[in-house]
């Protein structure tokens, strides 16, 4: 573990200890009916909570930077150990290099470029990085750049990386989900046997839409050799796409976009009840806490036990950062805090021993009738399906002095197994 990351982790742990101490003091003063002192401590607690939020973000940044360094080192070691580049590898590299040149200068003479006329490229088919004509719908983004954008989208969004991610070769992608498993029975050696229950299957198919980014950059920047156009493209496109995908998983309406988990209103109907919940409908657990934050420790415990044990092995929590701030104050009946900050690299913060992810689309604790905490196995609950490769168009005419890039990819999504997650719903105002 690096010295910088160790210092960041220790800083978070120390501030969390301070947070707990002040919170205990505030609760004591409230019990003593010492309103003035309790108010003073509450203000201090808010400042410490703000510092803690910032330190957690800084820890995550340091951890991500260290992870990227480790990834680069592993790549360099793999390149050093692997055999000499194949013809296909050299072709991909030539295509990527030429593609980046075209981003700066334009695609108009692309197929006349020497890189695409070489015998190496003519000898093989590198389908993932082939460049189509503008009439066919733009130019395909080279595989390594497309993968870098997709990878960064996953890293920037906890919910996108937690659901099931699939790359499909057709828009006719479907999955069959078992709603009720096959049942069994007992019998003696010579006893009679009767037919047992058969599994109920559901066919689930995603709804589709085209997700795009439309960034622009100054022509002077493009002409500057020190401007890393590939890195800019990856980071600029991935940031907006990560936010849009997370929101579509939350409440996408299925019209030109994925169908979200909460497109249909959640209900209290339990698993296996008759009649069954509709395929895309999630069960909610009502939050009845009367506390100022409207969420209590018992509500979260109820949420975890509402999930069938078969889905708990890989279950995790999702909530907004504001909700995380409220949950940090909660204790169980033995006075132990439910929240524990991460003290190890690669390990997330935990609530009741389960990982906590950030999903900013979920409601804050004070939102009436809001879906605030989701708990479950997200990879079994929801599928996010990528269709075809990523494409790009370059446009340098409508805004003088700037070049725009229209980057797009088709995505689909739907709820797979609506028993695999539960949501905590706040009471009406």
Provide the mean pLDDT of the chain.
80
Domain assignment of residue 86, yes or no: no
Say how many domains are in the chain: 3
- By CB atoms closer than 10 A (0-12, 13-18, 19+), residue 202 is middle
Q: Are both 272 and 146 inside the same structural domain?
A: yes
Please check the confidence at residue 310 and state whether its pLDDT lies above 50.
Answer: yes
Q: Are residues 335 and 380 in the same domain?
A: yes
Q: What is the pLDDT of residue 31?
A: 83
Rounded Cα distance, 370 and 361, in Å:
11
Strand order in the sheet with 339-340: 283-287, 421-426, 371-376, 316-319, 354-358, 350-351, 339-340
Q: What is the pLDDT of residues 7-44, one digit of tens each?
A: 888 888 888 888 888 888 888 888 888 888 888 888 88
Average pLDDT for residues 352-357, to the nearest whole number?
A: 92
**CA atoms within 13 A of residue 265's CA, in its CB half-sphere:** 4
- Residues in CB range of 324: below 8 A, 6 or more apart: 339, 349, 356, 358
Q: Are residues 281 and 392 in the same domain?
A: yes
Radius of gyration of the chain (CA): 26
Shared domain for 340 and 284, answered yes or no, is yes
Q: Kindly tell me the number of DSSP H helices and DSSP E strands found in the chain.
A: 12, 15
Per cent of the chain over pLDDT 70 is 79
Q: In this structure, are 259 and 376 located in the same domain?
A: yes
Instruction: List, for residues 263-308, the tens digit of each pLDDT value.
Output: 999 999 998 888 889 999 999 999 866 554 578 888 999 999 999 9
pLDDT for position 171: 78
How far is Cα 31 from Cα 25, in angstroms, rounded to an integer?
10
- Residues 113-166 pLDDT 10s: 444 444 334 433 333 333 333 334 566 777 777 878 888 888 888 999 999 999
Residues 159 and 49 in one domain: no
Q: At what angle do helices 35-81 and 3-31 cross, to 10 degrees?
A: 160
355 and 379 housed in the same domain: yes
Domain that holds residue 104: 93-139
User: Would you state the pLDDT for residue 282?
Assistant: 95
- 87 part of a folded domain: no
Give yes or no: residues 224 and 288 share one domain.
Answer: yes
- For residues 107-113, give the mean pLDDT: 52
- Which uninterrupted H or E stretch holds 203? strand 200-204
Q: Say how far apart CA 144 and CA 96 lie, in whole Å.
A: 8
Within this chain, do residues 150 and 28 fall inside the same structural domain, yes or no?
no
Q: For the range 193-201, what are the long-range contacts, defined as Cβ-Cβ under 8 Å and sequence gap of 24 or more? A: 201/176, 201/177
Q: Is the pLDDT score of 77 beyond 70? A: no
**Listed residue (242, 227, 240) closest to 103, CA to CA:** 227
- Distance, C-alpha 312 to centroid of its chain: 19
Higher-pLDDT residue of 290, 349: 349
pLDDT confidence of residue 404: 86
- Do residue 69 and residue 152 come from a single domain? no
The CATH number assigned to the domain holding 299 equals 3.90.1690
Question: pTM above 0.85?
Answer: no
- Specify if 275 maps to a domain: yes
CA gap 417, 412 in Å, rounded? 16
- On the question of a cis peptide bond just before residue 382, with omega within 30 degrees of 0, the verdict is no
Q: Indicate if 321 and 261 belong to the same structural domain.
A: yes
Considering only residues 141 and 106, tell me which one the structure prediction assigns the higher pLDDT.
141
Residue 150 lies in a domain: yes
Report the C-alpha gap between 140 and 331 in whole angstroms. Answer: 53
Domain identity same for 125 and 156: no
- Mean pLDDT: which of 243-257, 275-289, 395-409 is highest? 243-257
Burial 108-127 (b: 16+ CB within 10 A, else e): eebeeeebbeeeebeeeebe
Q: How far apart are CA 395 and CA 103, in angstroms?
A: 10
Name the DSSP class of 201: E
318 within a domain of the structure (yes/no): yes
Residue 377, burial from CB neighbour count under 10 angstroms (0-12, 13-18, 19+): buried
Query: Whole-angstrom Cα distance, residue 231 to residue 226?
Result: 11
Residue with tokens 């800083």: 11
């Amino acid at each position: 573990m690096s010295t910088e990351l160790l210092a960041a982790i220790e800083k978070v742990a120390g501030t969390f200890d301070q947070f707990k101490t002040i919170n205990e003091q505030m609760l004591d003063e409230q019990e003593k009916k010492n309103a003035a002192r309790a108010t003073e401590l509450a203000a201090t607690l808010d400042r410490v909570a703000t510092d803690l939020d910032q330190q957690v973000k800084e820890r995550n940044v340091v951890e991500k930077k260290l992870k990227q360094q480790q990834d680069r080192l592993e790549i360099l070691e793999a390149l050093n150990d692997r055999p000499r580049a194949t013809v296909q590898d050299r072709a991909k590299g030539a295509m990527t290099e030429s593609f980046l040149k075209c981003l700066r200068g334009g695609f108009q003479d692309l197929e006349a470029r020497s890189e695409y006329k070489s015998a190496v490229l003519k000898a093989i088919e590198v389908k993932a990085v082939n460049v189509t004509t503008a009439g066919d719908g733009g130019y395909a983004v080279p595989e390594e750049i497309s993968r870098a954008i997709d990878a960064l989208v996953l890293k920037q969004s906890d919910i996108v990386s937690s659901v099931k991610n699939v790359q499909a070769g057709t828009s006719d992608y479907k999955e069959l989900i078992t709603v009720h498993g096959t049942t069994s029975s007992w019998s003696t050696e010579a006893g009679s046997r009767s037919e047992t229950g058969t599994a109920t299957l559901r066919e689930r198919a995603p709804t589709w839409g085209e997700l795009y980014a439309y960034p622009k950059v100054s022509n002077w920047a493009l002409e500057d050799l020190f401007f890393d156009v590939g890195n800019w493209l990856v980071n600029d496109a991935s940031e907006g796409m990560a936010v849009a995908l997370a929101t579509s998983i939350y409440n996408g309406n299925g019209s030109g976009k994925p169908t979200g988990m909460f497109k249909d209103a959640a209900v209290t109907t339990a698993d296996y009840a008759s009649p069954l919940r509709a395929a895309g409908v999630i069960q909610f657990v009502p939050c009845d806490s009367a506390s100022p934050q409207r969420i209590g420790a018992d509500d979260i415990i109820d949420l975890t036990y509402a999930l069938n044990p078969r889905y708990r092995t890989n279950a995790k929590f999702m909530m907004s950062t504001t909700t995380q701030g409220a949950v940090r104050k909660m204790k169980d009946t033995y006075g132990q805090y439910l929240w524990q900050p991460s003290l190890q690299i690669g390990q997330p913060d935990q609530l009741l021993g389960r990982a906590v992810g950030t999903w900013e689309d979920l409601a804050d604790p004070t939102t009436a009738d809001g879906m605030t905490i989701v708990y479950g196995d997200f990879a079994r609950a929801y599928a996010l399906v990528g269709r075809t490769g990523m494409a790009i168009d370059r446009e340098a005419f409508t805004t003088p002095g700037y070049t725009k890039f229209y980057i797009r990819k088709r995505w689909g999504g739907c709820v797979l197994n609506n028993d695999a997650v539960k949501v905590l719903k706040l009471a009406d105002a």
